[in-house]
Structures are given as C-alpha cells and as structure tokens.
Structure 1
Amino acid sequence: MSDLKNFDGLVSIREIEGQGMLVVRGDFSAAAFREAVAALAGVDFPDQRQAVVRDGRGVLWLSPDELAILLPRSDANSACADLAAKLADQHALVVDVSDARAHFQIEGRVVRETIAKLAPVDMHPDAFAPGELRRTRFGQVAAGFWLQDDRTARVFCFRSVREYMAKLLAVAADEKSEVAYFQK
C-alpha cells in the first residue's frame, strides 16, 4: 500500500477519511436508551452482533452493553455531548473515539477470502451474512468488521496500528495470494 490509503489487488482497499465513532455503554433493555441511540444514528437499533448502517451513519453492536455509533467526524463532538445529555438520567457512558480509530473499506469479488486470511472467523456465506459484525483479530491486531454486502466489508481498528493494518490487508489482497475457496 504505497500511500497507505489505497490499494488495488484481488480487492480494493480504501482508508475511510472523516469517519466519526462514538462508543456508548448502557442498558439495551431501556427503551429511552434504545430510542436515543437510534434517533442520533438515524437507523434502527441493532440486534446482537449486527451492524445497521446507512449513508455513513449507523450503530454497531459490540457487546451486550456496548455499541459504536458511526457518523461524520465533523458531527462527532456535538453528537457525543447531545447523547450524553439525553442519557444523563441513566447509567450510560458516551465517548468520542473518532481520533483513536482507523476505518477501511474492502471491496471486490474475494472480500471473504481476504478477511479469512487474517481473522479467525468462518467467512463462508452460510456462516457469515451481510450485516453481521465481529470483533476479532486481524493477525495480532484487535479489529472489528462487518460485511455491507457480499462484495464489501468495513474494518475498524486502533489508529495506532493503522499502518500495520493497511499493510496486512494489502498482503492478504495481493494478486499472487488468491485462494479461490468460496468461488463456485
């Protein structure tokens, strides 16, 4: 990845600029919590291990009491303050982690194989469907990802390992490394 932002091989890899991310912890069973999160993101509240994303905004299920909200980076600071105020009467935590995360989009016909080379996740279409989200490792890097569709995935990781992640993804997408496992 010569410029660490773009790579074209078996799949194309693009670093996503301007992506904001809030981490929110709270009681998912509280209607006020669910409504406030969904209203801020402009999408439905996700089910377990799901990503609900539309037009650059969304909610990612990270654990039984933790979510990530995706939104434009320019909106993250004010959205964090607004959501914290709406949840002030509940046991909840809202933190803007935009500066601490890097985001990549992987797109192409072998997106599943590219991820399978790096993450210990069964990427077969019968086992992992678009919209599902996993927190896992890509090599030794803590990361999360979901499939937007059968040809597109989004990956996020700590910004401190951004360069390493970009190189990992590029090696896995190198044209000489095709596996062709999921092809029919």
Structure 2
Amino acid sequence: MSKVSALMGATAQGFAEVKELGLQGMVTLKADLSTPEAAKAVQAATGLALPTQRRIVEGESGAVAWMARDELLILCAHDQADACVATLNSQLTGAHHLAVNVSDARAFFAVEGACAREVLAKLAPVDLRPGVFEPGEMRRTRLAQVPAAFWMTGPDSFRLICFRSVARYVFDILAVSAKEGGAVGIY
C-alpha cells in the first residue's frame, strides 16, 4: 500500500478552500445489494447500513456510498482497507461478489467554504442548488472531463474522489474554479 498521498496535502485558497486530504481507505464492493447477505456483510465490515440510491451513510469509522445499483464504495481508515475486504469476502462466501481495496488508485479532496457549491457547479453537470443537493447525497459524475464522485458533509463542505492518475488535473481545476472573482451565483 502507498505511504504517500497523490499530492501530499496540496491546498489552494480562493472563495473556497481546496485541499487534498491524504491517504484514505477505499473498498469497492460489487454485489447484489438487494440481498440480506449484502446488507449483513456491509454491516459487519463497517457498522453501517446500506445507503439508498445516490446517498452516502457516514459513521464514526467511515462511510458507505452508493455508486450504482450493484456497487458501493466503502471509506475506512487507510490501514483498515484490507481488513474490510477480508470481512466482506468472509461474510459473502458463496455469493457472487467482488470486494477490492482501491485505496491507492484514488485521490481524496475537500472543497470547503461558503462558495463550495459554486466551485463544483462550474465543473460538474449537477444541480447543486440548496434544497436540491444536500448533505448525505452522493453523485458520480464528470468533473470537467474526468470521472469523479462527490458528496456534501455539511452545508459548506464537500468531499470528492477521483482516480489518482488525474489527481493533479482535478486539484488544478478545482483551484482555478475557486479563484477569487469566479463566483457564478448558482442561488
């Protein structure tokens, strides 16, 4: 496993703050999520329930995000990702599934501040207006021209993941989008 994050904690300040959050444990689970076995396995691995469509369930030890009708992204401590995979595999023995530690293939960012919505609204084809996109919602989308996923952790706070191979590009477009004078007024 990697010992260094994609951008080693890079930060940018504008009308919102953009920062790379360092190493984050991430596990992809592909399975039939409608089964009781899947719910039990996720509960055993994370202590959390399955999220509903386009939602993320967060707890003290991590989160479980809906990515597709048969796919979840589990967030945990970086050093716990392999244990999470082992628990899922043990719980789902005999069931068709795939549990993979994808921690080192991803980068993890925060976009925070009163205009955090605007930073992302300039880059993603998602309606981010208050009342439409709220904390606990998850979107898997494109950020400019690359795949990304993001969710709100509070009224002025987003978390975002992307492939590690495009981390510098994503950080740079977020930083440019957050530059002073760049607010677009999505409200």
User: Smaller-chain TM-score range?
Assistant: over 0.9
SS at match of 2:93: coil
List gaps (5 residues or longer) in structure 2: 1-6
Alpha-carbon distance in 2 for matches of 1:110, 1:38:
35
The aligned counterpart of 1:49 is 54
Q: How many pairs are equivalent? A: 181
Q: Does 1:125 align with 2:150?
A: no
8 Å CA contact 1:23–1:67 kept in 2: the answer is: yes
Whether the aligned pair in 2 keeps the contact of 1:4 and 1:167 (CA below 8 Å) is no
From 67, 71, 78, the counterpart of 1:73: 78
How many angstroms does 1:113 deviate by?
0.9
- Structure 1 stretch 117-126 or stretch 50-59: which is displaced more? 50-59
Which amino acid letter does the alignment assign opposite residue 168 of structure 1?
I
Amino acid paired to 1:95: V
Q: 1:59 aligns with which of 61, 64, 67?
A: 64
Could you tell me which runs of 5 or more consecutive residues in structure 1 were left unpaired when the two chains were aligned. Answer: none
Q: Percent identity between the aligned chains?
A: 41
Distance in 1 separating the partners of 2:182 and 2:8? 21
Q: Distance in 2 between matches of 1:127 and 1:147?
A: 12
The equivalent position to 1:29 in structure 2, one of 34, 39, 64, is 34
Instruction: Report what 1:141 is aligned to.
Output: 146
Residue 151 of structure 1 aligns to which amino acid in structure 2? Answer: D
Q: CA deviation at 1:65?
A: 0.3
Equivalent of 2:166 in 150, 161, 179: 161
Stretch of structure 1 that moved more, 26-35 or 62-71: 26-35
1:49 partner letter: R
Give 2:4's aligned residue.
none
Which sits farther off after the overlay, 85-94 or 115-124? Answer: 85-94
User: SS at 1:178's partner residue?
Assistant: coil
Check if 1:96 corresponds to 2:101. Answer: yes
Work out the CA distance in 2 between the residues paired with 1:35 and 1:59. Answer: 13
TM-score (norm 2): 0.92
Q: Which residue of structure 2 aligns with residue 19 of structure 1?
A: 24
Partner of 2:156: 151
Corresponding residue for residue 8 of structure 1: 13
